[in-house]
Structures are given as C-alpha cells and as structure tokens.
A and B are shown apart, each in its own frame.
Chain A
Amino acid sequence: DTGVSQNPRHKITKRGQNVTFRCDPISEHNRLYWYRQTLGQGPEFLTYFQNEAQLEKSRLLSDRFSAERPKGSFSTLEIQRTEQGDSAMYLCASSLAGTVYGYTFGSGTRLTVV
C-alpha cells in the first residue's frame, strides 16, 4: 500500500466550471476525511465518511460542494460552479476507527480557479 493517493495533483479551471477530485485511502482504513487548506492557514475540516456513510457534512462550505464514497473505498469531492475563492489545496486523509494513530494525509490537490 503506497499511502493515501490524491488525483490530480494540480487542477486549473475557469470560474463557473465543475471540478472533481479523487482520493484513494489506505486500503484497510474505514474512515476518510476531506480538508481544505488556504495559504497561511491550517487545514479546515469539510466532511468525513465511515465506510460509505457520510457522517458529517455540515462543514461543507456551500451547497456547491459535495462528496461521495460509494463503495466505501475511494472518494470524490466535487465543486460545482467554481469561484475564485475556491482556490486552495484540498487534502484527503484516512484512518482506522478506534486506533490512536491519527490520520494519514495525501499530498493534496491544488485547485486554481482563474
């Protein structure tokens, strides 16, 4: 297992377009988290899944943001009608519920909205 994988690494899109990011967690991890990080800030929690169930989504930034984890393995984060303020690094992390080892983060997807 090579850790948490995020694709693409970089995405440049025009304002108003939709974008989708993918995260492949560590295979035995049942929890998956999405965070957003803007320049000079710490990661900001967006949502998380346990298996395929989305257990917290109230922190998603607007109704333009949605996430899925259909089979409890990989997850996608979609942003519709992107705005310049959506430009940020989107981080995915995974963990095994009930363990103390914290999260393993991916390298992130950097989104630039022009």
Chain B
Amino acid sequence: GEDVEQSLFLSVREGDSSVINCTYTDSSSTYLYWYKQEPGAGLQLLTYIFSNMDMKQDQRLTVLLNKKDKHLSLRIADTQTGDSAIYFCAPGDGGSQGNLIFGKGTKLSVKP
C-alpha cells in the first residue's frame, strides 16, 4: 500500500521560509494534498497540486512536485508564529479512490 514519509520536526525563525518535504510510494496519485493540524484540532486543508503540475503557488504557499522521484514539498514564505502546527502530506485522487494516506507529519516550530 501507499507509504508516506516526512521528517518529524522543523524549526525556523519568524520571517524565514520553511520547507517541508514528503516522499511517497504510490505513483498513481492524481492529486496530492497538504493539511495543517493545530493542537487538539482536526486537519485543515491548506492546498493541493494536480499530478501533472510541477509547481503551484497559493499566496505564501508554494508546492513543488517531482513526480519522477515521488517527492513533494511545501514552502511557506515569511513564516509566522501562527504557522506553528503539524503538516501532513496526503497523496490521493480527490475522492474516487476512497481514502487518503497520511504520514506521521512534520511538526513546524516557529521561533520569534
């Protein structure tokens, strides 16, 4: 089945850029999603990228996809303390396959 790997921790200073990386195994994913989870809360959809794209920009967020290497990254520009959370990448197909597979997530800590 699908396997998703992310580094567990990332610490940055406020105002710097953050880059969160993800590798996955299932090359059939049509869409790949990034979710954010704040303490004690459910997951919030941040952004997604279609598998035939290699980059998508959405305000402070930039998603890069290297389909050949099955590598996905999320860049957060001008990181703020409110960005501190756990970030999950989740390959999927937008619903027709049935379920998204999540890794353990990357805990982003932003220091003032």
| Residues on the A chain within 8 Å of B4, using CB | 42
Bound CA span A55–B98, Å: 8
Q: Is A102 in contact with B48, judged by CB distance below 8 angstroms?
A: yes
Contact A103 B45 (CB under 8 A): yes
Q: Is the CB of A42 within 8 A of B88?
A: yes
- B31 touches which of A44, A93, A96, A100 (Cβ 8 Å): A100
Residues of B within 8 A of A (CB): 4, 31, 33, 35, 41-45, 48, 50, 88, 90, 92, 94-96, 98-105
Interface bracket on A? 20 to 34
> Which residue of A is nearest B30, CB measured?
A100
Give the docked Cα–Cα distance between A42 and B92 (Å): 15
Assess the B98–A42 pair: CB atoms within 8 A.
no
| Measured CA separation A43–B45 after assembly (Å) | 14
CB neighbours of B90 from chain A (8 A) = 102
Task: Check B45 against A42 for contact (C-beta < 8 Å).
Answer: no
Beta-carbon contact of A48 and B99 below 8 Å: yes
Map CB proximity to B onto A90-107 as digits: 1 under 8 Å, 0 otherwise: 010101111111111111
How far is A42 from B37 in the complex, measured between Cα atoms in Å? 10
The 8 A-B residue pairs whose C-beta atoms are closest, nearest first, are A42-B102, A105-B42, A105-B43, A100-B94, A45-B99, A107-B42, A97-B95, A102-B33
Residues from chain B with Cβ under 8 Å of A42 in the complex? 4, 88, 102-105
Closest to B99 in A: A45
